[in-house]
Amino acid sequence: MTRIAIYDTTLRDGSQGEGVNFSLQDKLLITTQLDLLGVDYIEGGYPLSNPKDAAYFRAVRDLDLKHARVTAFGMTRRKDVAAEDDIGMKALVGVAMPAVTIVGKSWDFQVLEVLGVSLAENLSMITDSVAFCAAHTPEVVYDAEHFFDGYKKNPEYALRTLQAAADAGAAWLVLCDTNGGSLPDEVSKAVADVVANIKVPVGIHTHNDCELAVANTLAAVAQGARQVQGTINGIGERCGNVDLCSVVANLSLKLKGYEVLLPGSLVHLTEVSRYVHETANMNFRPGQPFVGTSAFAHKGGMHVHGIRKNAASYEHIDPALVGNERRVLVSELSGKSNIAEKLAEYGLEQDSALLTKVLDRVQDLENEGYQFEAAEASFVLLVERLAGRETSWFSSLGYHVSVSGRPDGAAVTEATVKLKAGDAIEHTVSEGDGPVNALDGALRKALEHHYPRLMEMRLFDYKVRVINGREGTAARVRVVIESQDDDSVWGTVGVSENVIEASWLALIDAFDHKLTKDARSSRSRVALAQT
Amino acid sequence: MTRIAIYDTTLRDGSQGEGVNFSLQDKLLITTQLDLLGVDYIEGGYPLSNPKDAAYFRAVRDLDLKHARVTAFGMTRRKDVAAEDDIGMKALVGVAMPAVTIVGKSWDFQVLEVLGVSLAENLSMITDSVAFCAAHTPEVVYDAEHFFDGYKKNPEYALRTLQAAADAGAAWLVLCDTNGGSLPDEVSKAVADVVANIKVPVGIHTHNDCELAVANTLAAVAQGARQVQGTINGIGERCGNVDLCSVVANLSLKLKGYEVLLPGSLVHLTEVSRYVHETANMNFRPGQPFVGTSAFAHKGGMHVHGIRKNAASYEHIDPALVGNERRVLVSELSGKSNIAEKLAEYGLEQDSALLTKVLDRVQDLENEGYQFEAAEASFVLLVERLAGRETSWFSSLGYHVSVSGRPDGAAVTEATVKLKAGDAIEHTVSEGDGPVNALDGALRKALEHHYPRLMEMRLFDYKVRVINGREGTAARVRVVIESQDDDSVWGTVGVSENVIEASWLALIDAFDHKLTKDARSSRSRVALAQT
């Protein structure tokens, strides 16, 4: 088995992605997750670039990391300054991490045009910087910025920059496709040339501007690269860095003879991916390979039919290998097999008349803007209502929400709810941080003494999507609420022209589902007891 | 130049993606866009699968398409039924399109396990179906489902299924990596073998389950494939089909010797990509290669510095070639060069004291959950306030929003606004479809007679994002509102624990920006007149 070192730069290069903002706390939490996943290097940040990164390197010392080495990132020394006098160099070794990463220029055009120094001075900047860091830090990783562009234009000079870093004591030479414009054949050729001519281990750092980052990384590994740099979920500048989730899964599951991460850690891949999305406050990318929520989701009726006969018919790997799971979706394309599948999942009986009724209703609601893919609980309630279920836990008689805003930014929100629970009429009022929170409070006041288990549930996410009306049609709003209790998480949906009404619809479904599922599980417990 | 035919299946395979729902109207609008882009084939749908697709084939006849051929998709005949008696076959030829596409099985395992017919019967099903369609339709495209999986397990049989389709009159043999599990080397080898042995043009159809769909497509083209099937934005089942935007851009701009689409149509790529996102009601994927809103966005200070000296330093192509544009982002990572760049863009003077003040303020607000990347107007207002600008168009004295919901789902929304414009105190009220709409109405009543040009502006998008508070911290909500008038579009942002307050903050910024930019442009017109 050939060991491929995984070098994560989510916290540094990743944080240059649009919409990515990590707090200091975020960075420390992600560091711990990456260590559990078994990555070999964690590039923590750029000591000089901002105070947050400086604070990170102080705080990270207190984390008890099992395996990963944290590296500090910086540039070669400035021109006409000795390395030991350069503030960047001093900051790099000052943080006293087990490794430092220095980026230098390999493209003659960049040296002359952007840096504005001679080709010779650039070589000394590389030599001095690597030598200085090597003297003060156990391991120096040298990132060759724009290596592939440089190699295309002036291979002789590009190779000399690598040789300079190697001679000065770099432990790794990482070839960077900084602009993401290279193609797999170009990468193969260049990596093969470097591996053949320079006797220091080589790494690969790609960006996804041509949607070829993963292919370029695998091409480099095939030619002898032994370190892969990337980010979790492929976040990063422009189109992002290569997604380590895809790289790691391909190297472990699709190719033969490579060893990455730690034994048994691959099953945490999906969890770590979602953790980083959440912590970075980014939306999941449902179609993300291997770890996305849709990566093993089946919608087309034909596919669902196939999956039921044999999973391999429409899945290239077992989702469990990366900690992901199969999902069967409900939509107008589903055909009855998906819906039957769902009903079975929830132990609902499935006569074909009901299936047809459900399918028709789903199609109508989707035309109104509903989507049940993220709101299965609302779908199940819909089915039970169409099946003519007996229990109604409560029925709404109306609500009122009022928000008063003051110039100082303080806003007071009050909600009243009127409903019928059993024979009792409840009319309650609550304040809240916002309308949904206040409605939630009033609903609880009205229902919790009837149904105490509602105290176990809480709302933890709220999504609003405007369904752009075309010219002449009013815009509608779809609200999806995610709720959880001790043993499950469920999504409910509401659609209306009014965001408050849509929220209300999703909210009462959330309560209804909690009560219904508890009743269902206690029924099944009774049934079990009787057998 | 080698012509590569572009076959779009956004409307069929794409619509199997999670969260994708096209109305009949959507499908017709997208068809027109695809035709303008110059794709060669548009797979419109599956006549048998649902009524919407059937209606599409009736309506599409009335579109006056310039170049694209619309194809109808279906499966081979069922077992033990003559092609002419099979409802699927009849539906396919019944829609009378210039081409039909038939999918058949090439993987012995699928034939025996999923279809449950003999290997010989599967060959006759392919032969009969292709022959029947070829007799009634000008052009038959044969999609070989699971071809690469079949070829790995039983190449001899997989090739026989292709030969059967070729002998029966198929114009194209499209090799499908249905499960998206193949690697570029496997694809190259199989395509080369088919091209060498079967004398009918070959196409490639890939999925992105290993994040290698683009690489696999380019590998197939390099081995002689002459048709590429994919979807706009890579929408589709699971991880999606190959993204035609990336394929087309790579074939046109990164590789040599290929001709795709129509002359001059590449500059419409970004527009068509965003049109499909909008029409499908999907969020843009900012990091989408070539066409994404972040594809040429620069955030890291070093990159912005480089770009200003020479664009090639951090861009692999000129964004204009695909109709996209460069953007410089503002964030805590920006460093002053990004902010200076922005100020210059808006003709604001930029002393370094102000730059520091702005940078500090931006960092504080980002910690509170603000993001200015999609809300430049709010950023510019922030700068002007920090610069101590003179004009204040209006100052809020408070607002009140009230929503009354009834069990029948009808909700009545009323908003009152109190503000000071000049020396006048305005106190107005308006109803609306929802809170934002009602607040917008009340603001207009209060301000339009002071500033009539407000009548030119309208709100056209509204986004809400919950910024998940960690344990113990209250969740905050970020609202981004996009507004437009006759000559521009602008985004504004508000953050609060209360969705109504956050909306209000974004709303007053939207109005403030409209008034400020109009004043600025009239000032510059005056200045111009005086020179």
Q: Does B506 touch chain A (CB under 8 A)?
A: no
Residues facing A419 on adjacent strands: A396, A426
Percent of chain A with pLDDT over 90: 65
Nearest to B18 among A211, A329, A402 (CB): A329
Of B106, B100, B76, B120, the closest CA to residue B194 belongs to B106
Percent of chain A with pLDDT over 70: 94
Sorting pLDDT into bands at 50, 70 and 90, what band is A333?
low
Nearest to B210 among A75, A246, A498 (CB): A246
DSSP symbols for A267-282: GGHHHHHHHHHHHTT-
CA distances in angstroms from A254 to A221, A258, B61, B152, listed in the order given: 13, 10, 45, 14
Nearest to B215 among A16, A184, A433 (CB): A184
What is residue B392's predicted lDDT score, i.e. its pLDDT? 84
Domain boundaries, chain B: 2-279, 297-368
What is residue A471's predicted lDDT score, i.e. its pLDDT? 37
Nearest to B239 among A19, A289, A400 (CB): A289
Q: Can you tell me the distance from the alpha carbon of A135 to that of A137, in angstroms, rounded to the nearest whole number?
A: 6
Q: Does B186 touch chain A (CB under 8 A)?
A: no
Residue B104 near residue B116 (C-beta atoms within 8 A): no
Q: Does B333 touch chain A (CB under 8 A)?
A: yes
For residue range A363-397, what is the model confidence (pLDDT) as tens digits?
778 767 787 867 889 988 998 888 887 678 999 99
Residue A34 near residue A63 (C-beta atoms within 8 A): no
Nearest to B366 among A21, A178, A504 (CB): A21
Q: What is the pTM of this model?
A: 0.78
For residue range A41-99, what is the model confidence (pLDDT) as tens digits?
999 998 887 778 888 999 999 999 999 999 999 999 999 999 999 999 999 999 999 99
Query: Percent helix, strand, coil in chain A (nearest 5)?
Result: 45, 20, 35
Contacts of B329 in chain A (CB under 8 A): 18
What is residue B96's predicted lDDT score, i.e. its pLDDT? 93
Name the CATH superfamily for B2-279: Aldolase class I (3.20.20.70)
Instruction: Reduce the DSSP state of residue B428 to 3 states and report it.
Output: strand
State mean pLDDT over A325-352. 73
Q: Does A240 touch chain B (CB under 8 A)?
A: yes
Q: Does B499 touch chain A (CB under 8 A)?
A: yes
Contacts of B460 in chain A (CB under 8 A): 468
Q: Does A477 touch chain B (CB under 8 A)?
A: yes
Sorting pLDDT into bands at 50, 70 and 90, what band is A523?
confident
What is residue A132's predicted lDDT score, i.e. its pLDDT? 98
**ipTM of this predicted complex?**
0.77
Helix ranges, A154-257 (H) = 155-167, 184-197, 213-222, 244-249
State mean pLDDT over A214-234. 98
Q: How far is B197 from chain A (nearest CA, A)?
A: 26
What is residue B356's predicted lDDT score, i.e. its pLDDT? 83
**Cβ–Cβ below 8 Å for B499 and A499:** yes
Of A29, A499, A496, the closest CA to residue B468 belongs to A29
Contacts of B406 in chain A (CB under 8 A): 398
What is residue B527's predicted lDDT score, i.e. its pLDDT? 59
Q: Does B254 touch chain A (CB under 8 A)?
A: yes
State mean pLDDT over A459-488. 72
For residue range A278-330, what is the model confidence (pLDDT) as tens digits?
777 676 788 999 999 889 988 766 777 777 778 777 899 999 999 998 887 76
**Cβ–Cβ below 8 Å for A49 and B285:** no
Q: Does A271 touch chain B (CB under 8 A)?
A: no
What is residue B484's predicted lDDT score, i.e. its pLDDT? 85
Instruction: Reduce the DSSP state of residue B382 to 3 states and report it.
Output: helix
Residues facing B463 on adjacent strands: B480
**Does residue A334 carry a pLDDT above 70?**
no
**Does residue A401 carry a pLDDT above 70?**
yes
Whole-number average pLDDT of chain A: 90
User: Along chain B (531 residues), what's the average pLDDT of each consecutive run of 10 residues?
Assistant: 97 88 85 96 89 89 95 95 95 95 96 93 98 97 97 97 98 97 98 97 98 98 98 96 98 96 95 83 83 87 74 88 85 67 74 83 79 82 84 92 91 95 95 93 96 91 67 67 84 91 96 92 66 54
Q: How far is A214 from chain B (nearest CA, A)?
A: 7
Nearest to B19 among A214, A295, A371 (CB): A371
**Cβ–Cβ below 8 Å for B283 and A283:** yes
What is residue A474's predicted lDDT score, i.e. its pLDDT? 58
What is residue A169's predicted lDDT score, i.e. its pLDDT? 98
Q: Which of B499, B505, B508 to mutate to test the interface with A (most CBs of A within 10 A)?
A: B499
Find where tokens 């929100």 sit.
Answer: A413
Nearest to A333 among B16, B218, B460 (CB): B16
Residue A238 near residue B294 (C-beta atoms within 8 A): yes
Q: Does A467 touch chain B (CB under 8 A)?
A: yes
What is residue A414's predicted lDDT score, i.e. its pLDDT? 96
